[in-house]
Structure 1
């Protein structure tokens, strides 16, 4: 291991050798961990408000954001269920059809080209 580190240091012309990797025995059940860092949330104080230990009356998340997240979650669950169980309910939608696939791919491209040509003639 030390020889490999020395070779890499020499190949890449490193001033300091690479740090040694942590070692663990084959019978060891846990991997060595890196030192943890404490993270804290920093918020700006409101103007004119003194630094007090009183909790802020503002909510963590607004009702509009919560409503959006609920709708997003419900839509995601419905889409996942349709993808997973759609072939059981409607097996014909999962049968491969090359003509239908080509139509689905080429139609948006053709429509975009037609719209671009039409728009360029207007200008």
Structure 2
């Protein structure tokens, strides 16, 4: 597509950037949880451990779902935009809603990790 329609290269990179942002959400949660983990002698209980496990799983599984949705929509959207440029706006809207799935996972993980 880049050879036939070079003006679409920057539009084609948007799903890749949005997928990278999902990875940053996981990194943020990991850094927050890393600061909360202490030794058992300092008062780290089993309840805290399970809360941190749930926070990591929540962020990871929501990121997995968001990444899968971004991948499917991005692939079909980029191919469709090459054929019909009006599909670009619809692709961006669906990508934004897919990104929000990962953002919700990060918010829930931060709530679980800090409580």
State TM-score, norm by structure 2. Answer: 0.27
Bigger helix fraction: 2
Larger RCO, structure (CA 8 Å, separation 6 or more) = 2
TM-score scaled by length of structure 1: 0.26
